[in-house]
């Protein structure tokens, strides 16, 4: 795990330049001073990165030649490479980033997605390479967990997405940790990334615009309730009872559903933030009226709203998208029970909308080329 020494910032192996996006402002200043640079140089670099979205030292015109060399020796400004993009006709776009960290045993790829909606641009960020949870319906879980992203790699996803939006004079307005990985299984890095993203001298994004989505790790949910930032919490429930949940989400067997819901209630009590229950509807698996009634019972025990998501099919997996009638009936049953429920708009259906598909295809191609 990275150290958080305020003088030098995150550690990495091999004495290589450190990912500059993993530094809080105080850490970056400390590291610059430790390298013999004046403190204000770190402030100038931060301005280029977060205000102007420039990460090319050669373009940082207020730095002298000596400063540029010193910064390049200490910091890595390009920790990952954008290797693929897919753009949907509805404006949604998906990117695949290959991480450069030498400790990865094989090409490390993660996806992130931007979903525009009027002036709002939501980024779905990844927290891990692969995912340990192994949801039966998900492409990301198929290849297992390869490793945790560092805080700086998480922040860099947002940096790249903002760079891509710059020609439209737009920026990401909201982020959700719903991409690849289980954020609670990489808690320290995710929280540090959020602190950097939230910092007024970095991306200055308010806590209300940041959502952490988890399949439910009670101890970590309680830890998150104690953070100084009141973030939005989403619980990926996907089943209204324990047996079905364990069938769909094997990792869920580590924690009892009741314990997870207790932790969510605690989160609400501590933060006043209503929990969002995410529920992917799978045809004839969890989308029957009896499931809706069971889910309504769960909702009676917790201050939560429900987000219904129509499944996007994944090649080679047996699950199907629910029928429109079933979705409507499911929603009506919840509404009639007094639950605040929405059906999420399907976006990016023409670009492998399901999480992890782009990475899976790229990984397969690399295997065929003998690179993975």
Instruction: Give whichever of 29 and 363 is closer to ligand SF4, judged by the CB atom.
Output: 363
Identify which of residues 143 and 341 has a Cβ nearer to ligand SF4 in the complex: 143
What span, in angstroms and rounded, lies between the C-alpha atoms of 263 and 255? 11
Contact criterion met (CB below 8 Å) for 59 and 29: no
Buried residues in 295-310 as b, exposed as e (16+ CB within 10 A) = bbebbeebebebbbbb
Q: Do the Cβ atoms of 295 and 334 come closer than 8 Å?
A: yes
**Closest C-alpha to 8, from 33, 24, 25, 27:** 27
Kindly name the residue from 111, 150, 153, 182 that is annotated as catalytic.
111
Nearer to ligand SF4, 68 or 321 (CB): 321
H or E segment and range at residue 304 = strand 304-310
| Positions that interact with ligand SF4 (CB under 6 A) | 131, 133-135, 138, 140-141, 180, 182, 215, 355
Closer of 91 and 250 to ligand SF4 (Cβ) = 250
- Residue nearer to ligand SF4 on the CB measure, 131 or 351: 131
Radius of gyration of the chain (CA): 21
As measured in angstroms, the least distance from the Cβ of 272 to ligand SF4 is 26
Could you tell me the smallest distance in angstroms from the CB atom of residue 309 to ligand SF4?
Answer: 10
Tell me the closest approach of the beta carbon of residue 134 to ligand SF4, in angstroms.
Answer: 6
Nearest approach in angstroms of CB 145 to ligand SF4 is 9
What would the two tokens of residue 241 be? 């009872």
> Catalytic residue at 202?
no
**What minimum distance in Å lies between the beta carbon of 87 and ligand SF4?**
22
Cα 191 from Cα 309, distance rounded (Å): 26
Q: How far apart are CA 134 and CA 131, in angstroms?
A: 7
| Number of neighbouring beta carbons within 10 Å of residue 275 | 24
Name, in order, each residue with C-beta under 8 angstroms of 157's C-beta and a sequence gap of 6 or more: 80, 97, 110, 112, 123, 125, 126
Instruction: Output the residue with the shortest Cβ distance to ligand SF4.
Output: 141
Specify the residue, 10 or 141, whose C-beta has the smaller distance to ligand SF4. 141
Q: Considering the candidates 112, 131, 138, 355, report the single residue annotated as catalytic.
A: 355
Least Cβ distance, residue 149 to ligand SF4 (angstroms): 13
Q: Which is nearer to ligand SF4, 180 or 341 (CB)?
A: 180
| Runs of H (alpha helix) within the chain | 25-34, 39-46, 65-74, 139-142, 151-165, 187-198, 218-225, 242-248, 257-271, 289-299, 324-336, 357-368
Smallest separation (angstroms) from ligand SF4 to the CB of 58: 37
**Distance between CA atoms of 5 and 22, rounded to whole angstroms?**
12
- Catalytic residue status for 111: yes
Catalytic residue positions?
Answer: 111, 355
């Amino acid at each position: 795990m990275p150290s958080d020494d305020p003088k030098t910032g995150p550690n990495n192996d091999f004495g290589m330049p450190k990912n500059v996006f993993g530094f809080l402002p105080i850490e970056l200043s400390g590291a610059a001073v430790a390298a013999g640079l004046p403190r204000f140089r770190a402030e100038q670099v931060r301005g280029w990165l977060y205000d102007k979205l420039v990460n090319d030292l050669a373009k940082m015109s207020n730095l002298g030649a000596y400063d540029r060399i010193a910064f390049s020796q200490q910091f890595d400004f390009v920790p990952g490479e954008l290797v693929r993009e897919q753009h949907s006709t509805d404006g949604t776009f998906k990117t695949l980033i290959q991480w450069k960290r030498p400790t990865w045993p094989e090409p490390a790829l993660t996806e992130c997605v931007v979903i525009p909606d009027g002036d709002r641009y939501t980024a779905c960020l990844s927290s891990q390479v692969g995912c340990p949870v192994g949801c039966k319906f998900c492409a990301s879980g198929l290849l297992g967990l390869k490793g945790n992203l560092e805080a700086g790699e998480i922040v860099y996803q947002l940096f790249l997405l903002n760079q891509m939006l710059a020609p439209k004079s737009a920026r990401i307005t909201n982020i959700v940790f719903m991409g690849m990985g289980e954020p609670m299984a990489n808690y320290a890095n995710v929280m540090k990334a959020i602190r950097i993203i939230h910092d007024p001298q970095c991306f200055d994004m308010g806590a209300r615009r940041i959502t952490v989505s988890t399949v439910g790790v009670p101890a970590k949910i309680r830890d998150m309730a104690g953070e100084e930032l009141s973030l939005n919490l989403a619980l990926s429930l996907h089943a209204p009872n324990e047996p079905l949940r364990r069938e769909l989400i094997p990792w869920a067997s580590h924690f009892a559903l009741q314990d997870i819901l207790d932790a969510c209630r605690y989160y609400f009590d501590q933060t006043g933030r209503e929990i969002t229950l995410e529920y992917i509807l799978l045809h004839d698996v969890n989308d029957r009226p009896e499931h809706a009634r069971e889910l309504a019972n769960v909702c009676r025990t917790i201050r939560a709203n429900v987000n219904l998501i129509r499944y996007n099919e994944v090649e080679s997996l047996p699950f199907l998208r629910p029928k429109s009638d079933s979705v409507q009936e499911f929603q009506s049953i919840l509404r009639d029970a007094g639950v605040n429920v929405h059906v999420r708009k399907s976006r990016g259906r023409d670009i492998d909308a399901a999480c992890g598909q782009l990475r899976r295809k790229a990984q397969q191609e690399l295997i065929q080329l003998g690179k993975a």
